[in-house]
Amino acid sequence: MLPVIALVGRPNVGKSTLFNRLTRSRDALVADQPGLTRDRKYGTGKLGKHPYVVVDTGGISGDQLGIDQLMEQQVHQAIGEADHILFLLDGREGCTGGDEIIAQQLRKTGKPVSVAVNKSEGLDETLAASDFYRLGLGDPIAIAAVHGRGVRTLIDGILSQFPPAEEADTDEEKGIQIAVVGRPNVGKSTLVNRLLGEERVVAYDQPGTTRDSIYIPITRNDKRYTLIDTAGVRRRARIKEAIEKFSIIKTLQSMQEANVVLLVLDAQQEIGEQDATLAGHVLESGRALILVINKWDGLSQDQREWIKAEIERKLPFLSFARHHYISALHGSGVGDLFGLVDQVYKSAMRDLATPELTRILEALVEEHQPPLVHGRRIKLRYAHQGGKNPPLIVIHGNQTERVPDGYKRYLISRFRSILKLRGTPVRIEFRSGDNPFQGKQNKLTKRQIQKRQRLKKFVSRKR
Protein backbone atom coordinates (compact mmCIF):
# COMPACT_ATOMS: atom_id res chain seq x y z
CA MET A 1 0.00 0.00 0.00
CA LEU A 2 1.20 3.51 -0.80
CA PRO A 3 1.62 5.89 2.17
CA VAL A 4 -1.14 8.50 2.35
CA ILE A 5 -0.16 12.08 3.26
CA ALA A 6 -2.98 14.52 4.15
CA LEU A 7 -2.41 18.27 3.77
CA VAL A 8 -4.14 20.14 6.60
CA GLY A 9 -4.25 23.80 7.63
CA ARG A 10 -6.16 27.06 7.69
CA PRO A 11 -7.61 28.48 4.45
CA ASN A 12 -5.20 30.10 1.97
CA VAL A 13 -1.95 28.77 3.46
CA GLY A 14 -0.92 27.11 0.16
CA LYS A 15 -2.19 23.53 0.47
CA SER A 16 -3.33 23.30 -3.16
CA THR A 17 -0.06 24.83 -4.39
CA LEU A 18 1.88 22.22 -2.43
CA PHE A 19 -0.46 19.48 -3.73
CA ASN A 20 0.35 20.46 -7.33
CA ARG A 21 4.06 20.53 -6.48
CA LEU A 22 3.97 17.06 -4.87
CA THR A 23 1.95 15.50 -7.70
CA ARG A 24 3.78 17.42 -10.45
CA SER A 25 0.46 18.44 -11.92
CA ARG A 26 -1.97 21.34 -12.09
CA ASP A 27 -4.95 19.29 -10.95
CA ALA A 28 -5.87 21.49 -7.98
CA LEU A 29 -7.25 24.99 -8.56
CA VAL A 30 -4.97 27.64 -7.07
CA ALA A 31 -5.86 31.29 -6.41
CA ASP A 32 -5.26 33.96 -3.80
CA GLN A 33 -8.68 33.37 -2.31
CA PRO A 34 -9.53 31.51 0.93
CA GLY A 35 -11.94 28.57 0.88
CA LEU A 36 -11.32 27.62 -2.74
CA THR A 37 -10.84 23.89 -2.02
CA ARG A 38 -13.90 22.23 -0.53
CA ASP A 39 -13.67 18.51 -1.29
CA ARG A 40 -10.91 15.98 -0.67
CA LYS A 41 -8.72 15.72 -3.74
CA TYR A 42 -6.35 12.78 -4.21
CA GLY A 43 -3.18 12.63 -6.28
CA THR A 44 -0.13 10.41 -6.62
CA GLY A 45 3.52 11.42 -6.58
CA LYS A 46 6.93 9.79 -6.52
CA LEU A 47 10.20 10.86 -4.94
CA GLY A 48 13.10 8.66 -6.04
CA LYS A 49 11.83 5.11 -5.65
CA HIS A 50 9.14 6.07 -3.12
CA PRO A 51 5.61 6.56 -4.56
CA TYR A 52 2.93 8.08 -2.32
CA VAL A 53 -0.63 9.38 -2.24
CA VAL A 54 -1.29 13.00 -1.25
CA VAL A 55 -4.69 14.39 -0.20
CA ASP A 56 -5.59 18.06 -0.60
CA THR A 57 -8.25 19.30 1.82
CA GLY A 58 -10.26 22.43 2.45
CA GLY A 59 -9.11 24.95 5.02
CA ILE A 60 -10.30 24.61 8.61
CA SER A 61 -11.83 27.96 9.53
CA GLY A 62 -13.52 27.04 12.81
CA ASP A 63 -16.96 28.06 11.50
CA GLN A 64 -19.43 25.30 12.40
CA LEU A 65 -22.26 26.57 10.21
CA GLY A 66 -23.39 25.79 6.67
CA ILE A 67 -20.92 24.71 4.05
CA ASP A 68 -17.88 25.31 6.32
CA GLN A 69 -19.11 22.55 8.63
CA LEU A 70 -19.37 20.14 5.67
CA MET A 71 -15.87 21.13 4.50
CA GLU A 72 -14.45 20.44 7.97
CA GLN A 73 -16.08 17.00 7.93
CA GLN A 74 -14.20 16.30 4.68
CA VAL A 75 -10.94 17.31 6.38
CA HIS A 76 -11.56 14.97 9.33
CA GLN A 77 -12.30 12.10 6.93
CA ALA A 78 -8.99 12.78 5.14
CA ILE A 79 -7.16 12.77 8.49
CA GLY A 80 -8.78 9.45 9.35
CA GLU A 81 -7.55 7.91 6.07
CA ALA A 82 -4.01 9.35 6.29
CA ASP A 83 -0.84 7.59 7.41
CA HIS A 84 0.90 10.93 7.96
CA ILE A 85 -0.45 14.46 8.43
CA LEU A 86 1.33 17.45 6.93
CA PHE A 87 0.28 20.55 8.87
CA LEU A 88 0.80 23.59 6.63
CA LEU A 89 1.18 27.07 8.15
CA ASP A 90 1.62 30.61 6.86
CA GLY A 91 5.08 31.95 7.73
CA ARG A 92 4.10 35.54 6.92
CA GLU A 93 1.14 35.62 9.32
CA GLY A 94 2.87 33.77 12.17
CA CYS A 95 1.23 31.42 14.61
CA THR A 96 -2.47 32.27 15.10
CA GLY A 97 -5.18 31.09 17.45
CA GLY A 98 -6.66 29.05 14.59
CA ASP A 99 -3.34 27.21 14.14
CA GLU A 100 -3.29 26.32 17.86
CA ILE A 101 -6.85 24.94 17.71
CA ILE A 102 -5.93 22.74 14.70
CA ALA A 103 -2.76 21.57 16.48
CA GLN A 104 -4.84 20.46 19.48
CA GLN A 105 -7.12 18.45 17.18
CA LEU A 106 -4.15 16.82 15.42
CA ARG A 107 -2.55 15.76 18.71
CA LYS A 108 -5.74 13.90 19.63
CA THR A 109 -5.53 11.76 16.47
CA GLY A 110 -2.32 10.09 17.64
CA LYS A 111 -0.98 10.10 14.07
CA PRO A 112 2.47 11.36 13.05
CA VAL A 113 2.44 15.05 12.13
CA SER A 114 5.00 17.15 10.26
CA VAL A 115 4.89 20.95 10.49
CA ALA A 116 5.70 22.95 7.34
CA VAL A 117 5.95 26.76 7.40
CA ASN A 118 5.00 27.93 3.91
CA LYS A 119 5.51 31.29 2.18
CA SER A 120 8.95 31.67 3.73
CA GLU A 121 10.57 33.07 0.58
CA GLY A 122 12.34 36.35 1.38
CA LEU A 123 12.21 35.65 5.13
CA ASP A 124 14.82 34.41 7.57
CA GLU A 125 13.95 30.68 7.71
CA THR A 126 15.03 30.20 11.31
CA LEU A 127 13.08 33.24 12.47
CA ALA A 128 10.00 32.30 10.43
CA ALA A 129 9.94 28.76 11.86
CA SER A 130 10.71 29.71 15.48
CA ASP A 131 7.23 31.11 16.13
CA PHE A 132 5.65 27.67 15.54
CA TYR A 133 7.58 25.68 18.16
CA ARG A 134 4.83 26.61 20.62
CA LEU A 135 2.46 24.19 18.82
CA GLY A 136 4.39 21.27 20.33
CA LEU A 137 4.38 19.19 17.12
CA GLY A 138 8.12 18.93 16.53
CA ASP A 139 10.59 20.95 14.49
CA PRO A 140 8.91 23.21 11.88
CA ILE A 141 10.45 23.10 8.39
CA ALA A 142 10.43 26.33 6.34
CA ILE A 143 9.36 25.83 2.69
CA ALA A 144 8.20 27.83 -0.31
CA ALA A 145 5.64 25.64 -2.12
CA VAL A 146 5.28 27.99 -5.08
CA HIS A 147 9.03 27.75 -5.84
CA GLY A 148 9.59 24.22 -4.51
CA ARG A 149 12.23 25.31 -1.99
CA GLY A 150 12.53 22.92 0.97
CA VAL A 151 9.77 20.62 -0.35
CA ARG A 152 12.09 17.71 -1.21
CA THR A 153 13.69 17.78 2.24
CA LEU A 154 10.25 17.82 3.83
CA ILE A 155 8.90 14.83 1.84
CA ASP A 156 12.17 12.89 2.21
CA GLY A 157 11.77 13.11 5.98
CA ILE A 158 8.17 11.89 5.81
CA LEU A 159 8.79 8.99 3.40
CA SER A 160 11.81 7.77 5.39
CA GLN A 161 9.31 6.57 8.02
CA PHE A 162 7.71 4.13 5.54
CA PRO A 163 9.11 1.05 3.79
CA PRO A 164 9.47 1.32 -0.01
CA ALA A 165 6.15 0.62 -1.74
CA GLU A 166 5.50 -0.67 -5.25
CA GLU A 167 3.98 1.85 -7.61
CA ALA A 168 0.54 0.81 -8.82
CA ASP A 169 -0.50 0.75 -12.45
CA THR A 170 -2.61 3.92 -12.37
CA ASP A 171 -4.02 3.52 -15.91
CA GLU A 172 -5.41 0.08 -15.06
CA GLU A 173 -6.83 1.34 -11.75
CA LYS A 174 -8.87 4.08 -13.42
CA GLY A 175 -11.20 1.67 -15.26
CA ILE A 176 -14.18 3.32 -16.97
CA GLN A 177 -14.06 7.07 -16.28
CA ILE A 178 -17.49 8.61 -15.72
CA ALA A 179 -17.88 12.42 -15.75
CA VAL A 180 -20.97 13.82 -14.00
CA VAL A 181 -21.82 17.19 -15.56
CA GLY A 182 -24.72 19.63 -15.52
CA ARG A 183 -25.87 23.08 -14.50
CA PRO A 184 -25.28 24.24 -10.90
CA ASN A 185 -27.52 22.76 -8.21
CA VAL A 186 -29.04 19.93 -10.28
CA GLY A 187 -27.76 17.28 -7.84
CA LYS A 188 -24.41 16.17 -9.30
CA SER A 189 -22.58 15.87 -5.98
CA THR A 190 -25.59 14.21 -4.35
CA LEU A 191 -25.60 11.66 -7.17
CA VAL A 192 -21.88 10.99 -6.78
CA ASN A 193 -22.29 10.45 -3.03
CA ARG A 194 -25.24 8.12 -3.66
CA LEU A 195 -23.23 6.08 -6.18
CA LEU A 196 -20.36 5.81 -3.69
CA GLY A 197 -22.54 5.09 -0.68
CA GLU A 198 -20.77 7.76 1.42
CA GLU A 199 -20.53 11.53 1.82
CA ARG A 200 -17.41 11.75 -0.31
CA VAL A 201 -17.96 15.23 -1.77
CA VAL A 202 -19.62 18.31 -0.32
CA ALA A 203 -23.30 18.44 -1.31
CA TYR A 204 -25.06 21.63 -0.22
CA ASP A 205 -28.19 23.50 -1.30
CA GLN A 206 -26.20 26.30 -2.85
CA PRO A 207 -25.22 26.75 -6.52
CA GLY A 208 -21.49 26.53 -7.17
CA THR A 209 -20.64 24.29 -4.19
CA THR A 210 -18.23 22.19 -6.29
CA ARG A 211 -15.39 24.27 -7.72
CA ASP A 212 -12.91 21.66 -8.89
CA SER A 213 -13.17 18.34 -10.72
CA ILE A 214 -12.85 15.52 -8.16
CA TYR A 215 -11.66 12.09 -9.40
CA ILE A 216 -12.87 9.21 -7.22
CA PRO A 217 -11.97 5.54 -7.92
CA ILE A 218 -14.61 2.94 -7.11
CA THR A 219 -14.94 -0.84 -7.54
CA ARG A 220 -18.37 -2.34 -8.15
CA ASN A 221 -19.02 -6.00 -8.99
CA ASP A 222 -15.26 -6.50 -9.47
CA LYS A 223 -15.19 -3.73 -12.11
CA ARG A 224 -13.16 -0.55 -11.72
CA TYR A 225 -14.62 2.89 -12.36
CA THR A 226 -13.54 6.48 -11.75
CA LEU A 227 -16.30 8.96 -10.91
CA ILE A 228 -15.56 12.59 -11.80
CA ASP A 229 -17.63 15.17 -9.93
CA THR A 230 -17.46 18.46 -11.85
CA ALA A 231 -18.38 22.08 -11.25
CA GLY A 232 -21.72 23.29 -12.57
CA VAL A 233 -21.60 25.24 -15.84
CA ARG A 234 -23.60 28.46 -15.99
CA ARG A 235 -24.29 30.87 -18.83
CA ARG A 236 -21.28 32.99 -19.75
CA ALA A 237 -23.12 36.22 -18.91
CA ARG A 238 -23.54 35.10 -15.29
CA ILE A 239 -19.89 34.16 -14.78
CA LYS A 240 -18.20 37.01 -12.90
CA GLU A 241 -15.45 35.36 -10.84
CA ALA A 242 -12.24 34.23 -12.53
CA ILE A 243 -12.30 31.12 -10.33
CA GLU A 244 -15.57 30.01 -11.92
CA LYS A 245 -14.03 30.35 -15.38
CA PHE A 246 -11.24 27.98 -14.40
CA SER A 247 -13.81 25.61 -12.87
CA ILE A 248 -15.65 25.45 -16.19
CA ILE A 249 -12.38 24.76 -18.05
CA LYS A 250 -11.76 21.88 -15.63
CA THR A 251 -15.25 20.54 -16.35
CA LEU A 252 -14.70 20.62 -20.13
CA GLN A 253 -11.31 18.92 -19.69
CA SER A 254 -12.93 16.22 -17.56
CA MET A 255 -15.41 15.48 -20.35
CA GLN A 256 -12.51 14.97 -22.77
CA GLU A 257 -10.78 12.57 -20.35
CA ALA A 258 -13.95 10.59 -19.57
CA ASN A 259 -15.24 7.49 -21.35
CA VAL A 260 -18.88 8.09 -20.41
CA VAL A 261 -20.66 11.35 -19.52
CA LEU A 262 -23.70 11.56 -17.24
CA LEU A 263 -25.51 14.79 -18.15
CA VAL A 264 -27.72 15.56 -15.14
CA LEU A 265 -30.96 17.48 -15.78
CA ASP A 266 -33.43 18.83 -13.23
CA ALA A 267 -36.88 17.30 -13.86
CA GLN A 268 -38.52 20.09 -11.87
CA GLN A 269 -37.20 22.81 -14.19
CA GLU A 270 -37.59 23.32 -17.91
CA ILE A 271 -34.70 22.51 -20.23
CA GLY A 272 -32.78 25.78 -20.50
CA GLU A 273 -30.37 27.23 -23.02
CA GLN A 274 -27.44 26.28 -20.79
CA ASP A 275 -28.54 22.63 -20.77
CA ALA A 276 -28.53 22.66 -24.57
CA THR A 277 -25.12 24.39 -24.70
CA LEU A 278 -23.61 21.88 -22.28
CA ALA A 279 -25.15 19.02 -24.27
CA GLY A 280 -23.47 20.48 -27.37
CA HIS A 281 -20.09 20.36 -25.59
CA VAL A 282 -20.68 16.69 -24.73
CA LEU A 283 -21.57 15.97 -28.36
CA GLU A 284 -18.38 17.70 -29.56
CA SER A 285 -16.32 15.65 -27.12
CA GLY A 286 -17.68 12.50 -28.78
CA ARG A 287 -18.18 10.68 -25.50
CA ALA A 288 -20.86 8.09 -24.77
CA LEU A 289 -23.77 9.85 -23.06
CA ILE A 290 -26.52 9.07 -20.59
CA LEU A 291 -29.15 11.74 -19.87
CA VAL A 292 -29.85 11.47 -16.14
CA ILE A 293 -33.11 13.20 -15.25
CA ASN A 294 -32.91 13.88 -11.51
CA LYS A 295 -35.56 14.82 -8.93
CA TRP A 296 -38.04 12.50 -10.69
CA ASP A 297 -39.79 11.54 -7.45
CA GLY A 298 -42.92 13.42 -6.49
CA LEU A 299 -43.79 14.45 -10.06
CA SER A 300 -47.29 13.83 -11.41
CA GLN A 301 -47.79 11.85 -14.62
CA ASP A 302 -48.55 15.07 -16.53
CA GLN A 303 -45.31 16.67 -15.30
CA ARG A 304 -43.34 13.60 -16.33
CA GLU A 305 -44.81 13.60 -19.82
CA TRP A 306 -44.08 17.33 -20.07
CA ILE A 307 -40.36 17.00 -19.22
CA LYS A 308 -40.01 14.09 -21.68
CA ALA A 309 -41.53 16.25 -24.41
CA GLU A 310 -39.18 19.12 -23.42
CA ILE A 311 -36.16 16.86 -23.89
CA GLU A 312 -37.40 15.64 -27.27
CA ARG A 313 -38.11 19.20 -28.43
CA LYS A 314 -35.04 21.04 -27.11
CA LEU A 315 -32.37 18.33 -27.34
CA PRO A 316 -33.20 16.55 -30.63
CA PHE A 317 -29.48 16.22 -31.49
CA LEU A 318 -29.08 13.82 -28.54
CA SER A 319 -31.41 11.20 -29.99
CA PHE A 320 -28.64 8.58 -29.59
CA ALA A 321 -28.37 9.12 -25.79
CA ARG A 322 -29.88 6.78 -23.22
CA HIS A 323 -32.41 8.33 -20.82
CA HIS A 324 -32.54 7.36 -17.14
CA TYR A 325 -34.84 8.78 -14.46
CA ILE A 326 -33.66 8.92 -10.85
CA SER A 327 -33.88 10.59 -7.47
CA ALA A 328 -30.33 11.12 -6.24
CA LEU A 329 -31.57 12.28 -2.84
CA HIS A 330 -33.65 9.15 -2.14
CA GLY A 331 -31.63 6.73 -4.29
CA SER A 332 -34.41 5.49 -6.58
CA GLY A 333 -33.03 4.36 -9.96
CA VAL A 334 -29.41 5.17 -9.04
CA GLY A 335 -28.31 1.54 -8.70
CA ASP A 336 -29.09 0.83 -12.38
CA LEU A 337 -26.73 3.52 -13.66
CA PHE A 338 -23.61 1.33 -13.62
CA GLY A 339 -25.34 -1.21 -15.88
CA LEU A 340 -26.19 1.54 -18.37
CA VAL A 341 -22.62 2.85 -18.18
CA ASP A 342 -21.31 -0.61 -19.09
CA GLN A 343 -23.70 -0.81 -22.06
CA VAL A 344 -22.86 2.55 -23.60
CA TYR A 345 -19.13 2.06 -22.96
CA LYS A 346 -19.30 -1.30 -24.76
CA SER A 347 -20.94 0.41 -27.76
CA ALA A 348 -18.35 3.20 -27.79
CA MET A 349 -15.42 0.74 -27.69
CA ARG A 350 -16.84 -1.89 -30.04
CA ASP A 351 -14.69 -3.39 -32.80
CA LEU A 352 -16.34 -3.09 -36.23
CA ALA A 353 -15.25 -5.46 -39.00
CA THR A 354 -14.43 -3.98 -42.43
CA PRO A 355 -16.51 -6.55 -44.43
CA GLU A 356 -19.55 -5.86 -42.24
CA LEU A 357 -19.22 -2.07 -42.62
CA THR A 358 -18.77 -2.38 -46.39
CA ARG A 359 -21.86 -4.60 -46.73
CA ILE A 360 -23.92 -2.12 -44.73
CA LEU A 361 -22.62 0.76 -46.86
CA GLU A 362 -23.58 -1.05 -50.09
CA ALA A 363 -27.08 -1.73 -48.73
CA LEU A 364 -27.52 1.92 -47.68
CA VAL A 365 -26.35 3.23 -51.06
CA GLU A 366 -28.75 0.86 -52.81
CA GLU A 367 -31.55 1.98 -50.50
CA HIS A 368 -30.86 5.68 -51.04
CA GLN A 369 -28.40 6.78 -53.73
CA PRO A 370 -26.08 9.77 -53.12
CA PRO A 371 -27.14 12.87 -55.08
CA LEU A 372 -25.75 13.99 -58.43
CA VAL A 373 -23.10 16.72 -58.38
CA HIS A 374 -22.52 18.55 -61.69
CA GLY A 375 -24.15 15.65 -63.50
CA ARG A 376 -21.91 13.04 -61.89
CA ARG A 377 -22.97 10.54 -59.24
CA ILE A 378 -20.98 10.43 -55.97
CA LYS A 379 -19.57 6.92 -55.56
CA LEU A 380 -19.03 5.37 -52.13
CA ARG A 381 -16.98 2.17 -52.49
CA TYR A 382 -16.05 0.68 -49.10
CA ALA A 383 -15.86 1.48 -45.37
CA HIS A 384 -13.68 0.54 -42.42
CA GLN A 385 -13.30 1.54 -38.75
CA GLY A 386 -11.01 4.47 -38.03
CA GLY A 387 -11.28 4.81 -34.23
CA LYS A 388 -13.23 4.21 -31.02
CA ASN A 389 -14.89 6.32 -28.33
CA PRO A 390 -16.66 7.49 -30.41
CA PRO A 391 -16.80 4.91 -33.21
CA LEU A 392 -15.31 6.43 -36.36
CA ILE A 393 -16.30 4.98 -39.76
CA VAL A 394 -14.07 5.91 -42.71
CA ILE A 395 -15.75 5.75 -46.11
CA HIS A 396 -13.71 5.75 -49.35
CA GLY A 397 -15.03 6.79 -52.74
CA ASN A 398 -15.05 9.47 -55.42
CA GLN A 399 -16.13 13.12 -54.92
CA THR A 400 -16.68 12.40 -51.22
CA GLU A 401 -15.84 16.02 -50.34
CA ARG A 402 -19.15 16.94 -52.02
CA VAL A 403 -21.36 14.65 -49.94
CA PRO A 404 -24.19 16.85 -48.55
CA ASP A 405 -24.69 17.12 -44.77
CA GLY A 406 -28.16 15.62 -45.10
CA TYR A 407 -26.83 12.45 -46.69
CA LYS A 408 -24.10 12.23 -44.05
CA ARG A 409 -26.74 12.40 -41.29
CA TYR A 410 -28.67 9.64 -43.09
CA LEU A 411 -25.58 7.40 -43.09
CA ILE A 412 -24.81 8.10 -39.40
CA SER A 413 -28.39 7.35 -38.35
CA ARG A 414 -28.60 4.12 -40.35
CA PHE A 415 -25.15 2.84 -39.29
CA ARG A 416 -26.03 3.47 -35.63
CA SER A 417 -29.38 1.71 -36.01
CA ILE A 418 -28.10 -1.35 -37.89
CA LEU A 419 -25.03 -1.81 -35.67
CA LYS A 420 -27.13 -1.17 -32.52
CA LEU A 421 -24.68 1.40 -31.17
CA ARG A 422 -26.69 2.79 -28.28
CA GLY A 423 -25.68 5.72 -26.14
CA THR A 424 -22.70 6.79 -28.25
CA PRO A 425 -22.37 9.25 -31.15
CA VAL A 426 -21.02 7.92 -34.46
CA ARG A 427 -18.67 9.91 -36.64
CA ILE A 428 -18.09 9.46 -40.36
CA GLU A 429 -15.01 10.55 -42.27
CA PHE A 430 -14.94 10.59 -46.09
CA ARG A 431 -11.82 10.01 -48.15
CA SER A 432 -11.45 10.36 -51.91
CA GLY A 433 -8.99 8.33 -53.95
CA ASP A 434 -6.34 10.35 -55.79
CA ASN A 435 -6.82 10.67 -59.57
CA PRO A 436 -3.46 9.70 -61.12
CA PHE A 437 -4.22 11.74 -64.28
CA GLN A 438 -5.30 14.93 -62.47
CA GLY A 439 -3.27 17.95 -63.68
CA LYS A 440 -1.63 15.96 -66.49
CA GLN A 441 -2.14 16.69 -70.20
CA ASN A 442 -2.24 13.82 -72.66
CA LYS A 443 0.57 14.15 -75.21
CA LEU A 444 -0.69 13.44 -78.76
CA THR A 445 1.25 11.37 -81.25
CA LYS A 446 2.14 12.72 -84.74
CA ARG A 447 -0.62 10.65 -86.33
CA GLN A 448 -3.21 11.95 -83.84
CA ILE A 449 -2.17 15.55 -84.59
CA GLN A 450 -2.62 15.00 -88.35
CA LYS A 451 -6.03 13.43 -87.77
CA ARG A 452 -7.13 16.42 -85.66
CA GLN A 453 -6.03 18.87 -88.39
CA ARG A 454 -7.99 16.95 -91.07
CA LEU A 455 -11.06 17.00 -88.81
CA LYS A 456 -10.77 20.77 -88.34
CA LYS A 457 -10.57 21.31 -92.14
CA PHE A 458 -13.63 19.11 -92.68
CA VAL A 459 -15.62 21.06 -90.07
CA SER A 460 -14.63 24.43 -91.56
CA ARG A 461 -15.83 23.34 -95.06
CA LYS A 462 -19.23 22.36 -93.68
CA ARG A 463 -19.68 25.85 -92.27
Binding-site sequence positions for GTP: 9-16, 56-60, 118-121, 182-189, 229-233, 294-297
- Closest residue by Cα to residue 230 from 189, 190, 273, 268: 189
d(CA 123, CA 147): 14
112 CB neighbour count, 10 Å cutoff = 15
- Closest residue by Cα to residue 276 from 231, 235, 322: 235
Q: Rg of the Cα trace of the chain?
A: 30
Residues ≥6 apart with Cβ < 8 Å to 113? 84, 85, 86, 87, 106, 107, 137, 138
The rounded Cα 117 to chain-centroid distance in angstroms is: 34
374 CB neighbour count, 10 Å cutoff = 6
Break the chain down into helix, strand, coil percent, rounded to 5: 40, 20, 40
Residues ≥6 apart with Cβ < 8 Å to 83? 3, 4, 5, 111, 112, 162
Binding-site annotation: residue ranges: 9-16, 56-60, 118-121, 182-189, 229-233, 294-297
**H or E segment and range at residue 392:** strand 392-398
d(CA 103, CA 87): 8
Contact at 8 Å (CB) between 129 and 140? yes
Residues ≥6 apart with Cβ < 8 Å to 166? 51
DSSP secondary structure letter of residue 14: S
- How many Cα atoms within 13 Å fall on the side-chain side of residue 89? 31
